[in-house]
Chain A
Amino acid sequence: MEDKEKPVIEVKNLVKSFAGRRILNGVDLQIYKGEVMVIMGGSGCGKSTLLRHIIGILRPDEGQVLIEGQDINAVPQRELDKIRRRIGMLFQSGGLIDYMNIRNNIALPLREHTNLDESVIDIIVNLKLSMVSMRGMGSLLPCEISGGMNKRAALARAIALDPVFVFYDEPTAGLDPVVAGVIDQLILDFSKKLAVTSVVVTHDMQSVFRIASRIAMLHKGEIVTVGTREEIKNSKDELVQQFINGKPEGPISFLQKGDNYLKELTEK
């Protein structure tokens, strides 16, 4: 297949430091059309930072991000905006504009980027609301609904312009298992029915194995391994095995070296 040969999103040797700390240490990743790519890894390993580079909110110190062959850090702002109109992004906290009600939030990208009539926008908003099972809740403010609804409403906004790519930053974090399952199902639906290419950052293992076409494991700012669900499950890599099974002992260590223990305790 032609599509399989050329990735639609390509991350090349991405390096980023914050205040002297290297967060991303030469990340390489290819994402193909229509797949659900899950990036998993422990807290603070650079997952969200990587996602923010792919959408161009953060600029890398070194390396490139190519979306359909265009280097998003080299194109002028107008071109970047054009690319972004084809991307939907679901933020960890939803990112709904807090002084606008749900309806206006979902209508916002439509009003900004299209010349559609208000009556048409209304229909689209209702359509998107019912896709996330939130019909009739358009008049509520983001602070008046629960966290799970916030995420679903944010998802409705992310897909308002029928994007080609949707990025999710921890879509199921902090949600109850049923709502998490609903969100997972939505991610799969978009990918299958609308041929959306998805990138999901998460450390929710249940969700990873439900939705992923391929999984990339990020550790200490580097991609350790990339593979399908089965490949990851049967991986010989101790790091991967420790992570997917949640074992406290292993190469990912939380125990600090004990040499200076007494000194650290008594030091002021």
Chain B
Amino acid sequence: MENKKPVDFISSLGAKVNSLLRTITDIFYLFMQVLHWLFIGPFKGKAANRETIFEQMVFVGVKSIIIVFFIAIFTGFVLAMQSAYQLQQLGAVIYVTGLVAVSITRELGPVLTALVVAGRVGAAITAQLGSMKVTEQIESLETMAINPIRFLVVPRFLALLIMMPALTAIADLSGILGGFIIGVTNLNINGHLYIEMTKEFLALKDIMTGLFKSAVFGVIICLIACYKGLNTEGGAEGVGRATTESVVTSFVLIILADAILTAIFYFGNM
């Protein structure tokens, strides 16, 4: 049996903390570079390619609509049924309307959309950039004096930043529709009343905070996916590993950011 000294444990812990800190600084640096190319680049005549941005927007947004729609509408069903189960005991089934609307727009819409996009788009971005890295394509861009951040990351960043709130708006609507369907068919709430009650309970700030969250999640997904992709090493196996890490890290960070943002909104009375 090997004797493990406590010193070894501390030094390996130190090495882990060190590499974590380096990753965080690297991602922050990537973010700064993206902002640089986004806001300063165009004035130097070095804007990101418009066609690429649109292509990415289609990939991120348009092609995610169906899956986001289904996930949100089913969540709306579930939410309406679960809350009705509780509220029936109090004779307050009508409150299902507000409960569904507020929890979808403030919380579930943005978070579920972000998780779907992280799994679908984040993974694809990491896999694509990762395989470009291991086949010398990123280096070839550099030797052609084409900055890979501007050429590859900025279009994806913009696409996610714009399409995440758009997808979340679709998720909000679909979720409320799901609640509406259960409410009208199963809980005997009048359709007109359901809509009026939803309007009554739902404030604009509920929707706005949700959309703000989703934009932050979009930034997280893009930065993590691009960072993992551009730092891929070790051939095809490395691409697989990077993709898994990208999705897992995005998931954890999305939930973490959600907790922080919710706390800020809650204590800030927003």
Task: Kindly state the separation between the CA atoms of A99 and B132 in the bound complex, as whole angstroms.
Answer: 10
Chain A residue nearest to B146 (CB atoms) is A112
Q: Are A95 and B146 in contact (CB under 8 A)?
A: no
Q: Are B136 and A95 in contact (CB under 8 A)?
A: yes
Please give, as numbers and ranges, the residues of chain A lying within 8 Å of B146 by CB-CB distance.
Answer: 108-109, 112
- Give chain B nearest CB distance to A206 CB in angstroms: 24
Q: Are B132 and A97 in contact (CB under 8 A)?
A: yes
Decide if B7 is an interface residue (CB 8 Å cutoff): no
Instruction: Please tell me the size bucket of the interface on B.
Output: 10 to 19
Q: Are A95 and B145 in contact (CB under 8 A)?
A: no
Decide if B1 is an interface residue (CB 8 Å cutoff): no
Please give, as numbers and ranges, the residues of chain B lying within 8 Å of A113 by CB-CB distance.
Answer: 145
Stretch at the interface among A85-93, A128-136, A255-263: A85-93
Please give, as numbers and ranges, the residues of chain B lying within 8 Å of A208 by CB-CB distance.
Answer: none
Please give, as numbers and ranges, the residues of chain B lying within 8 Å of A99 by CB-CB distance.
Answer: 128
Task: Kindly state the separation between the CA atoms of A99 and B51 in the bound complex, as whole angstroms.
Answer: 14
Decide if B142 is an interface residue (CB 8 Å cutoff): yes
- Give chain A nearest CB distance to B251 CB in angstroms: 27
Q: Are A93 and B136 in contact (CB under 8 A)?
A: yes
- Among A82, A89, A112, contact of B143 (Cβ-Cβ < 8 Å): A89
Decide if B10 is an interface residue (CB 8 Å cutoff): no
Task: Kindly state the separation between the CA atoms of A154 and B141 in the bound complex, as whole angstroms.
Answer: 12
Decide if B204 is an interface residue (CB 8 Å cutoff): no
- Give chain B nearest CB distance to A238 CB in angstroms: 35
Within 8 A of A (CB), among B105-147: 128, 131-132, 135-137, 139-146
Please give, as numbers and ranges, the residues of chain B lying within 8 Å of A220 by CB-CB distance.
Answer: none
Q: Looking at chain A's contact residues, is the secondary structure mostly helix, strand, loop, or mixed? A: mixed
Q: Are A96 and B145 in contact (CB under 8 A)?
A: no
Within 8 A of B (CB), among A79-136: 80-82, 84-85, 87, 89, 91-99, 108-109, 112-113
- Among A80, A87, A98, contact of B137 (Cβ-Cβ < 8 Å): A98
Q: Are B137 and A97 in contact (CB under 8 A)?
A: yes
Q: Are A92 and B132 in contact (CB under 8 A)?
A: no
Please give, as numbers and ranges, the residues of chain A lying within 8 Å of B137 by CB-CB distance.
Answer: 95-98
- Tally of A-B residue pairs with Cβ under 8 A? 50
Q: Are B145 and A91 in contact (CB under 8 A)?
A: no
Number of A interface residues, CB 8 Å? 25
A91-B139 contact, Cβ under 8 Å, with A97-B132, A98-B132: yes
Q: Are B136 and A85 in contact (CB under 8 A)?
A: no
- Give chain B nearest CB distance to A101 CB in angstroms: 14
- Among B128, B135, B136, B144, contact of A84 (Cβ-Cβ < 8 Å): B144
Q: Are B144 and A91 in contact (CB under 8 A)?
A: no
Please give, as numbers and ranges, the residues of chain B lying within 8 Å of A1 by CB-CB distance.
Answer: none
Q: Are B145 and A98 in contact (CB under 8 A)?
A: no
Decide if A55 is an interface residue (CB 8 Å cutoff): yes
Please give, as numbers and ranges, the residues of chain A lying within 8 Å of B128 by CB-CB distance.
Answer: 99
Chain B residue nearest to A80 (CB atoms) is B145
Please give, as numbers and ranges, the residues of chain B lying within 8 Å of A157 by CB-CB distance.
Answer: 144
Q: Are A87 and B143 in contact (CB under 8 A)?
A: yes
Chain B residue nearest to A161 (CB atoms) is B144
- Give chain A nearest CB distance to B133 CB in angstroms: 11
- Among B131, B132, B143, contact of A55 (Cβ-Cβ < 8 Å): B143
Q: Are B132 and A84 in contact (CB under 8 A)?
A: no
Please give, as numbers and ranges, the residues of chain B lying within 8 Å of A97 by CB-CB distance.
Answer: 132, 137, 140-141
Q: Are B132 and A91 in contact (CB under 8 A)?
A: no
Please give, as numbers and ranges, the residues of chain B lying within 8 Å of A84 by CB-CB distance.
Answer: 142-145
- Give chain B nearest CB distance to A67 CB in angstroms: 13
Please give, as numbers and ranges, the residues of chain B lying within 8 Å of A265 by CB-CB distance.
Answer: none
Decide if A57 is an interface residue (CB 8 Å cutoff): yes
- Give chain B nearest CB distance to A124 CB in angstroms: 15
- Contact code string A48-86 (vs B, CB < 8 Å = 1, else 0): 000010010100000000000000000000001110110
A-B contact pairs, 14 of them (CB 8 A): A52-B139, A57-B142, A91-B136, A92-B136, A95-B135, A95-B139, A96-B140, A97-B132, A98-B132, A98-B135, A98-B137, A99-B128, A154-B140, A157-B144
10 new A-B contacts, CB < 8 A, other than A57-B143, A95-B140, are: A85-B145, A91-B136, A91-B140, A94-B136, A97-B137, A98-B132, A98-B135, A108-B144, A112-B146, A113-B145
